[in-house]
């Protein structure tokens, strides 16, 4: 039993960078040298300064103000750090810098950062960290801080083992998923799902060719939070008939590389497989075949929404620490490069494929959300705003009309191909919308969080 627990420890901590950094901080005799080994590119003084602020949990805006440099300059320095250290996230950069002696990491801060990055209550860890942090204020108690760090390490280990053995059990079960069906005129027909789903993020209807991969054409597949979690999976996919009758639920595998965490986006590939973005730490697009019984990695990278072109290529909105990009893959999952490069004016979060192959892409330019229309070559054709749209996945119907979830206006807005508002579909306060699916006969399903 003990050996099995030890073998499963890496999965319990996912990438385990926090645990590794904590171990090194507590037990390593090596102190930061202030320079990278000769085998690695060196960081400039400003890059090290920016990375030091990142390690304290400072945002790009806070770093900009403190160091008196422009936000885009902060972005550029962090991009250089990522490239030199061979990482793609700030947490990984901090861990790598600590490993090679560039940063002297506070173990209390490390576990506090890790505990705050997951979707469950971290009150116990946070309270412990706040108490341990006060040890700095009294020189006579400074020696106790390492002991406090060791206590936090034991807490983290026991918590990780508990999650592996019994799954996650958040205190708050209140956020439930809901699907609202509308007819072609926008009149509500029925709701379903809150008894089986956490917050629903994405919904798709299986096309005819999905039968080749073991799916029932016409049925609905909904990606949603899973409470309590099952093993490493904190999200699942539920299948419903078009009339709302529940069929089944399935999720990712027991392995870190093919689990699903969320938020998820779903799309059926040209070969009938169901593609799903995996979420944090797993960082990939997964392919479910044999009706969901088999799962494999389709592509690597952290993606928000994905869409499949009529010719077969798959497009995804890729997330990075600083910005975002629209990346394309062929039908086999091979990287075809960027359709739209990193945009430091705001991150991309959603996209929808038109029948012509053009893309609608949402860029978060806080406090606004801007929709871009991109040509098949990635060139910007135009941009526009949809009042009330803040967040949510986009959908195009067979005529190229865009369906935009507008939580602020309690509606899904239908936008014409030229960017003008055709009409709004009122939701009656039933749910906060996340995504929409449209059938060939005009039926509409809206999924989201039940109100």
- pLDDT exceeds cutoff 50 at 33: no
**6 and 74 together in one domain:** yes
Range of the domain at 19: 2-166
**136 and 73 together in one domain:** yes
Residues across the chain: 451
Residue 119's pLDDT band (boundaries 50, 70, 90)? very low
Where is the domain boundary, 138, 166, 194? Answer: 166
Structure tokens at 314: 């798959």
Distance CA 415, CA 368 (A): 17
Residue 235 falls within a domain, yes or no? yes
Q: Strand pairing of 303-308 and 359-365?
A: unpaired
Instruction: Give the residue-averaged pLDDT of 422-432.
Output: 94
Residue 75 falls within a domain, yes or no? yes
- pLDDT exceeds cutoff 90 at 248: yes
**350 and 236 together in one domain:** yes
- pLDDT exceeds cutoff 50 at 4: no
- pLDDT exceeds cutoff 50 at 12: no
Q: How much is the pLDDT for 40?
A: 54
**150 and 189 together in one domain:** no
- pLDDT exceeds cutoff 70 at 21: no
DSSP annotation of 357: S
Residue 59 falls within a domain, yes or no? yes
Identify the CATH number of the domain in which residue 251 sits: 2.120.10.30
**What are the pLDDT digits (tens) for 383-396?**
899 988 988 999 99
Comparing 137 with 2, the larger pLDDT belongs to: 137
Instruction: Give the residue-averaged pLDDT of 299-327.
Output: 83
Q: How much is the pLDDT for 160?
A: 57
Residue 171 falls within a domain, yes or no? no
Comparing 8 with 379, the larger pLDDT belongs to: 379
Q: How much is the pLDDT for 172?
A: 42
Residue 172 falls within a domain, yes or no? no
Number of domains in the chain: 2
Where is the domain boundary, 117, 135, 166? Answer: 166
* Strand partners for 413: 404, 424
Percent of the chain with pLDDT over 90: 37
Q: How much is the pLDDT for 143?
A: 62
**What are the pLDDT digits (tens) for 87-115?**
766 767 776 777 677 776 655 555 555 44
- pLDDT exceeds cutoff 50 at 226: yes
Comparing 1 with 324, the larger pLDDT belongs to: 324
Mention every residue, 6+ apart, whose C-beta is less than 8 A from residue 27. none
Distance CA 419, CA 402 (A): 9
Mention every residue, 6+ apart, whose C-beta is less than 8 A from residue 398. 355, 438, 440
DSSP state letters, 282-345: T-EEEEEEGGGTEEEEEEES-EEEEEE-TTS-EEEEEE-SS-EEEEEE-TT--EEEEEE---TT
**162 and 181 together in one domain:** no
Where is the domain boundary, 109, 133, 166? Answer: 166
Q: How much is the pLDDT for 136?
A: 56
**148 and 197 together in one domain:** no
**What are the pLDDT digits (tens) for 336-369?**
887 765 554 457 889 999 998 899 999 877 677 8
**270 and 362 together in one domain:** yes
**293 and 364 together in one domain:** yes
Q: Work out the mean pLDDT of the chain and round it to a whole number.
A: 79
**134 and 227 together in one domain:** no
Residue 229's pLDDT band (boundaries 50, 70, 90)? confident
**80 and 122 together in one domain:** yes
Angle between helices 60-67 and 45-55 (to 10 degrees): 130
Percent of the chain with pLDDT over 70: 70
**301 and 434 together in one domain:** yes
**What are the pLDDT digits (tens) for 157-205?**
666 555 555 554 444 456 899 999 999 889 999 999 999 999 999 999 9
Residue 330 falls within a domain, yes or no? yes
| Strand ranges (E), 34-158 | none
Residue 79's pLDDT band (boundaries 50, 70, 90)? confident
Residue 296 falls within a domain, yes or no? yes
Comparing 13 with 151, the larger pLDDT belongs to: 151
Identify the CATH number of the domain in which residue 147 sits: 1.10.10.10
Using CA atoms, how far residue 11 sits from 95, 107, 163, 345, in Å, is: 18, 21, 10, 35
**312 and 217 together in one domain:** yes
- pLDDT exceeds cutoff 70 at 24: no
Residue 430 falls within a domain, yes or no? yes
Q: How much is the pLDDT for 417?
A: 84
Comparing 407 with 18, the larger pLDDT belongs to: 407
């Amino acid at each position: 039993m003990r050996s099995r627990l030890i073998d499963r420890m890496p999965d319990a901590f996912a990438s385990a960078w926090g645990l590794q950094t904590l171990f090194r901080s507590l037990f390593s005799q090596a102190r930061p040298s202030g320079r990278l080994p000769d085998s690695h590119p060196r960081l400039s003084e400003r890059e090290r300064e920016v990375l030091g602020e990142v390690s304290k949990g400072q945002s790009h805006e806070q770093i900009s103000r403190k160091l008196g440099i422009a936000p885009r300059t902060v972005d550029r320095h962090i991009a250089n750090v990522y490239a030199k250290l061979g990482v793609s996230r700030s947490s990984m950069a901090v861990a790598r810098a600590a490993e090679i002696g560039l940063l002297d990491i506070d173990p209390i801060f490390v576990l506090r950062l890790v505990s705050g990055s997951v979707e469950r209550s971290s009150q116990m860890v946070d309270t412990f960290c706040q108490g341990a942090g006060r040890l700095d204020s009294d020189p006579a108690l400074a020696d106790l801080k390492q002991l406090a760090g060791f206590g936090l390490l034991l807490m983290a280990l026991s918590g990780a083992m508990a999650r592996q053995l019994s799954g996650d059990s958040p205190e708050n079960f209140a956020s439930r998923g809901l699907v609202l069906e509308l007819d072609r005129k926008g009149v509500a027909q029925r709701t379903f799902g809150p008894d089986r789903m956490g917050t629903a993020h994405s919904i798709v209807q299986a096309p005819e060719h999905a039968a080749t991969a073991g799916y029932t054409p016409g049925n609905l597949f909904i990606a949603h939070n899973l409470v309590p979690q099952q093993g490493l999976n904190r999200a699942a996919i539920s299948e419903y008939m078009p009339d709302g009758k529940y069929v089944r639920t399935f999720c990712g595998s027991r392995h870190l590389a093919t689990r699903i965490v969320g938020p998820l986006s779903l799309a059926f590939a040209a070969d009938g497989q169901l593609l799903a973005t995996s979420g944090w730490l797993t960082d990939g697009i997964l392919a479910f075949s044999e009706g969901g019984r088999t799962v494999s990695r389709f592509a690597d990278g952290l993606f928000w929404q994905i869409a499949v072109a009529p010719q077969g290529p798959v497009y995804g909105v890729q997330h990075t620490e600083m910005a975002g990009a629209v990346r394309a893959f062929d039908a086999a999952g091979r990287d075809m490069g960027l359709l739209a490069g990193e945009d430091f004016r705001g991150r991309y979060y959603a996209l929808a494929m038109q029948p012509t192959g053009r893309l609608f892409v949402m860029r978060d330019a806080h406090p606004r959300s801007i929709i871009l229309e991109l040509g098949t070559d990635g060139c910007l054709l135009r941009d526009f705003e949809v009042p009330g749209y803040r967040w949510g996945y986009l959908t195009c119907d067979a005529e190229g009309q865009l369906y935009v979830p507008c939580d602020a206006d309690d509606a899904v807005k239908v936008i014409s191909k030229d960017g003008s508002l055709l009409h709004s579909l009122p939701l009656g306060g039933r749910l906060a919308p996340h995504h929409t699916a449209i059938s060939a006969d005009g039926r509409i399903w809206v999924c989201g969080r039940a109100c």
